[in-house]
A = this chain, B = another copy of it.
Amino acid sequence: MNGRLAVIGLGPGPLDLLTAEARAAVEQADALFGYGPYVDRLPVRDGQARHVSDNRAELSRAQAALMAAEAGACVAVVSGGDPGVFAMAAAVCEAVEHGPESWLNIAVTVHPGITAMLALAARIGAPLGHDFCAISLSDNLKPWPLVERRLRAAAEAGFVMALYNPISRARPWQLGAAFDLLRGVLAAETVVVFGRAVAREDERIDITTLGAADPARADMATCILIGSAETRIVQRGALSPLVYTPRSAPA
């Protein structure tokens, strides 16, 4: 008898940023699979097993979870943010497609969550209020020239950009290279926002410009927004500024 597998988005961190549906799915699971810091956010429940694995072990984690589901368990794979955005849902789909045929019979459901760019955008106003794109800067799974091509295309076409996975110990230079490339296309005054650990206790948000953007301000927990030519900052005296991209765009 098959169990089932839920891929669950935990949002940016606090439990009140989960949907009720995602929270219920976590509670129903016999076993949780996930990257340690994500699993650690969840209250411990008696009888619920926890299988913690490394950040980069996405495919093997997905396979282990599918094996447990096939054995009859109600399994949850937990993911920060939204599981469909540079996270576990694609890894589970890959594992299903390339795994044993029996895995095609495992019921897989995905519970969406608040992905990092939406959490950061909400914190500062509405920087994603117009057309935008999301790009992972990691070149572990795609060639760097492809990242560069996408950055250039998005900048030239006037998209606001959200950069995921901007930097890590193993990928120290990519964010600086991205800023350099973008400085060749966009004005130095273009709004850039670093959002680190958004909505968590150690949140740090820096609003700056492309000309002044320093890659050293980012770490693995940072999402970076690059504005379009229309993105604006509204200073508000005692209150923090609003950063937004107007709904309308010129020709």
A113 to B22, CA, bound (A): 13
Binds B, one of A88-96, A178-186, A205-213: A88-96
A170 to B96, CA, bound (A): 43
Q: Does A122 contact B84, Cβ atoms closer than 8 Å?
A: yes
Which of chain B's residues have a CB closer than 8 A to the CB of A11?
19
Q: Does A89 contact B129, Cβ atoms closer than 8 Å?
A: yes
Binds B, one of A63-71, A214-222, A238-246: A238-246
Q: Which one, B58, B112, B146, B157, contacts A249 given CB within 8 A? A: B146
Total number of A residues with any Cβ neighbor in B under 8 Å: 81
Which of chain B's residues have a CB closer than 8 A to the CB of A100?
none
A47 to B154, CA, bound (A): 47
Which of chain B's residues have a CB closer than 8 A to the CB of A111?
122
Q: Which one, B14, B17, B112, B247, contacts A122 given CB within 8 A? A: B112
Q: How far is the CB of A208 from chain B (nearest CB, A)?
A: 19
Closest to A90 in B: B129
- 6 tightest Cβ-Cβ pairs between the two chains A and B: A90-B129, A133-B133, A93-B244, A89-B126, A153-B157, A141-B248
Known: A14-B21, A83-B122, A105-B236. 16 other contacts (CB 8 A): A9-B122, A19-B114, A20-B20, A20-B23, A82-B122, A84-B129, A86-B247, A90-B126, A90-B246, A93-B129, A93-B234, A108-B125, A110-B122, A112-B114, A146-B251, A153-B156
